[in-house]
Structure 1
Amino acid sequence: MTTRLVVANRGHEYDGVVRDGESWADAARRTCGSAHAEPVPVDLSGEVKRFAIDHDLVVLLRPMTRGDLPVVTQWREQPHLRRWWAADGEPSLEAVTEAYGPRIDGMTPTRMWVVEANGRSVGFVQDYRVRDHPDFPLLTPDPDAVGVDYAIGEPEWVGRGLGVRLLWAWMLRARQRFPEAGSFFAAPDHRNAASLRVLEKAGFVEGTWFDEPQRDGSVATAVGCSLDVARVLG
């Protein structure tokens, strides 16, 4: 079955197809016909994979530093994040520093990144090799997958399509950092419909549901979502 795609650019739409052995990202680049413009996904969940070239928004990731922790604490205090991060406890600067400081310092397998939109810090990402966490490989069919969690911290950026863009920026970077990884993995709460939809638009596919113990002793039901790196990114 042929996979179709559309790339939107300055009011025009360019139709294309994915050739045998070609990734969706490479097919989108070929379809737009410009070596100076990078197509980004709009919605990869349907039969037609939709990309666009956004000339107004640049989304990048940079390593988190301890100097970022005060603003990360402010983000964690926002109502739209509190619900999904409540099990980690109250988001005081001391608690956030205790949790994220060792990751920033390279003392744990998890790494932290700040998301920038047009040069402004707007959220964060954390990633890790699934196999580096002994309890995690049971949750995904690929224990060599790279796991990811993300959060949009600035309320005014919620609901504007940034989630797909920041995941794409992370995916491109992760592909370079983990060239041997065949899949990426995320596991949002099953009630977090917005996050599940963002992952779906970015090319992730829902898989197993599982109960995940939380730091506060509670249990949350999460949905394992996986992305095929070769198929989507090449």
Structure 2
Amino acid sequence: MKVSYHGHSVVRIETNNRTILIDPFISGNEACDLDANTVKADVILLTHGHNDHVGDTIEIAKRCNALVVAPNELAVYLGFKGLNTHPMHIGGAHEFEFGKVKFTQAFHGSSYTEEDNSIIYTGMPGGILFTSEGKTVYHVGDTGLFSDLRLIGEMNNIDVAFIPIGDNFTMGPEDALVAADWIKAKTVVPVHYNTFPVIEQDPVAFVGRVKTGEGRVMDIGEVMEL
């Protein structure tokens, strides 16, 4: 399995001859190195409905005929847009041909803002545990600190965890350090920082303080092989 980071919360996974995008916020994301018009995806996994996470999902999924896996209300909404979707919900898991997806809790919001500024409620936000080829990736999603992260760490052998550190909308570095300790991933990668001025953080300082597992700042486009 190959895992790469592409700015904000965008993660790409290559496994079982499939390309999987998580939260493909590409257009309008100056940190992202991907091109929404050419990027390939067989599957798109979404943690929640905010525009900086749904991103270019509709355009990419239509062009690539990609399967979109998302929390139920968000999946239903995207289905109305003509996408091929698989709805799931918190605590639920499903074994796909490309790997196993399980949604975990996340304490955040979830809504999609249309071009006319109307706001569509898109259900519960979540984190995603993805398992394939004997490896588990945990995309924690946008969330504040909550104690069940310890339970998630105890119940799963997590190889790499993508943890938000930006603050204001999610955990900041101090809470993310606690989360990293509880999750007990072999590798901890900070995400959801420096995209906007209000979430500016020092990822190098954060990973230097990670005590459980290896803290690692991934450069944009950098590939990690698990």
TM-score, normalised via structure 2 length: 0.31
Bigger helix share = 1
Larger Rg: 1
